[in-house]
Amino acid sequence: MAEEPSEGERRESSDETVVRRDRFSGGPARGFLSSLSDDERIFAADLAVDRAHVVMLAEQGIIEDDVTGEILAALDEIEADGHDALTDGEDVHEAVESAVIERVGPAGGKMHTARSRNDEVAACIRYRMRADLLATIATVIEARQRFVEMALETRGIVMPGYTHLQPAQPTTVGHWIASYEQALQRDTSRLLDAYGRVNQNPLGSAAFAGTPFDVDRERTAELLGFAGVAENSMDASATRDFLVEVTAALANLATTLSGLAEDVIVMASKGHVELADEYSSTSSIMPQKKNPDTLELVRGRSGDATAGLNGLLTNLKGQPRAYNRDLQRAGRHAWDAIDSVTESVEVAAGAVTTAEWPVETLRDAAGEGFSTATGVADLLAMAGMPFRTAHEVVAEAAETLGPEENAPDYETLDAVCADIVGEPLSQFVDREAVEDALDPVQSVAMRDSRGGPAPEAVTEALDTAQQRLDEDGTALAERQDALAAAAAELDSEVESYV
Ligand code: ARG
């Protein structure tokens, strides 16, 4: 342990801190250098990090218990006064330290023993991002739950399915929304995965090169709820790759949502869905308009997330070890992305699950453009005709359709079959089976392979989805509980000194 400085030395060193700050940060670039207002985001995180650090310093015998109590009491006051009351400092870390010294006197300067703002800010960002991530994951899980319920309710509503935006095959609203639940399942696991790498303790790395003090990095990890220690001190102070992971997962999530939004926008333009009024907007001039603006904004916000990812990677690229001030501009990309995308998840889920599905319109539309053609070809192939030949027969029959016709009749198919195969259609299938295959509802019911759109297949898939959802809910709750337990432990340690 370092030798205790005398009272005089203490004052001198704290005065020097003040002088140095003025000298380097008080000039015309003061505002440019400052992150104090941005740091509001990590104000509470900074106080927690300070508390855990100070408690650990006391436990290790690095600072005295009475000084510890005074510093911790000052931190409580600073918390009560709020971030806006901070003035003196180019960032929240300096400003909180100044506020502590103002209350405690020079001994308050002991708070910054055995650390640097570099490991401090990294800890604050991780601490705050963790909470934000859990909130986002909770929102995604909630959306998935709503989608699973909606899919169960709408698994019998037949609707047109498209590829290239051209009528392709009939499907159901339930199968469609379940497809997004499935994508959100992967988005959830990417976010949970990123969480594991965010949740590591950089404290104790100091500027980058460690410290001669006998710090206990595992203890600060425990008090802050970090699951482990970011081992190498140079890496721990320098890296922001965990923010890249989070932002990339968010960009992926936002891209999922943008596709969902686009689907609904197209559906709305065709009258295939009726959005609830509260998720619609009107025109200031065209009185009849009801527009899907909420979903257009969900689609547009995917740009916020990809911009965040791009901004972050651009900020980080080529930064040398170990700390550079560029990093002060890194966090904002991730904060912007997570705020924006989390709202998008809520709004998209709200808009989709409150919408009305016009059953008859959708069923009629489901048969448009000879969307049952694949089913007819499948039927012939199931009866022994090579699929390629069946494809040819049905394609030839499709050629005969007029602009208003949705499907060829049995007679047409029969004639084409005789022409191409040399045998009548009845050699392969009876009229009733063909007519069933031409019916969009039957067409859907036939496609009951695993993961397919037939209502029973959707029901089964939703069982699995629900199990997965429950597992993810448990994973979320475990993480939330671990953070709450750590916060309670930190509180009680703090109380024992104050
Ligand atoms: N406010 C800075 C940041 O957000 C931390 C300060 C570290 N400053 C320094 N000159 N080493 O990254």
217 φ/ψ sector (left φ>0, alpha ψ -120 to 50, else beta): alpha
* Number of C-beta neighbours around residue 27 at 10 A: 10
CB-count exposure of residue 82 (10 Å: 0-12, 13-18, 19+): exposed
Q: Which DSSP state fits 5? A: P
CB contact at 8 A, 151 and 469: no
Query: What is the CA(489)–ligand 1 centre distance, in A?
Result: 28
Asked if residue 35 has its Cβ within 6 Å of ligand 1, the reply is yes
Check 164, 284, 449, 492 and give the catalytic one.
164
Instruction: Considering only CA atoms, give the Rg of the chain.
Output: 31
How many angstroms separate the Cα of 153 from the Cα of each of 148, 174, 391, 441?
9, 7, 34, 16
Q: 16: number of CA atoms within 13 Å, CB side?
A: 6
Cα–Cα dist 441/450, whole Å: 18
Q: Tens of pLDDT along the chain (498 residues)?
A: 344 444 434 344 444 444 455 566 667 888 899 999 999 999 999 999 999 999 999 999 999 999 999 999 999 999 999 999 998 789 999 999 999 999 999 999 999 999 999 999 999 999 999 999 999 999 999 999 999 999 999 999 999 999 999 999 999 999 999 999 999 999 999 999 999 999 999 999 999 999 999 999 999 999 999 999 999 999 999 999 999 999 999 999 999 999 999 999 999 999 999 999 999 988 888 888 889 999 999 999 999 999 999 999 999 999 999 999 999 999 999 999 999 999 999 999 999 999 999 999 999 999 999 999 999 999 999 999 999 999 999 999 999 999 889 999 999 999 999 999 999 999 999 999 999 999 999 999 999 999 999 999 999 999 999 999 999 999 999 999 999 999 999 999 999 999
**Angle 387-399/373-382 helices, nearest 10 degrees?**
140
What does 298-334 look like in DSSP terms, one character per residue?
HHHHHHHHHHHHHHHHHHHTTPPSS--GGGGGTHHHH
User: Quick one: which atom of ligand 1 is closest to the CA of 325?
Assistant: 12
Query: What is the CA(479)–ligand 1 centre distance, in A?
Result: 29
* Number of C-beta neighbours around residue 411 at 10 A: 10
Instruction: Give the DSSP H/E element, type plus range, for residue 191.
Output: helix 173-198
Predicted local distance difference test score (pLDDT) of residue 24: 63
98 is catalytic: no
CB contact at 8 A, 135 and 102: no
Asked if residue 327 has its Cβ within 6 Å of ligand 1, the reply is yes
Asked if residue 121 has its Cβ within 6 Å of ligand 1, the reply is yes
Tell which one of 118, 208, 237, 239 to mutate to probe ligand 1, the residue whose CB is within 8 A of the most ligand atoms: 118
164 is catalytic: yes
Predicted local distance difference test score (pLDDT) of residue 111: 98
Asked if residue 188 has its Cβ within 6 Å of ligand 1, the reply is no
Cα–Cα dist 59/65, whole Å: 8
CB contact at 8 A, 433 and 115: no
What is the dihedral sign for C-alpha 441, 447, 448, 450? negative
Predicted local distance difference test score (pLDDT) of residue 287: 86
Structure tokens at 23: 């000298």
Cα–Cα dist 127/235, whole Å: 17
Predicted local distance difference test score (pLDDT) of residue 27: 79
100-103 contacts, C-beta under 8 A, 24 or more apart:
100/50, 100/71, 100/74, 100/75, 101/14, 103/70, 103/73, 103/74, 103/77, 103/78
Cα–Cα dist 356/111, whole Å: 59
Q: For the whole model, what pTM was predicted?
A: 0.93
Residues 266-297 as b or e (16 or more Cβ within 10 Å = b): ebbeeebbebeeebbeeeeeeeeeebbbbbeb
Query: What is the CA(465)–ligand 1 centre distance, in A?
Result: 44
How many angstroms separate the Cα of 4 from the Cα of each of 8, 66, 108, 159?
11, 14, 14, 77
Structure tokens at 191: 């976010």
Residues 6+ apart with CB under 8 A from 375: 169, 437, 438, 442, 443, 446, 447
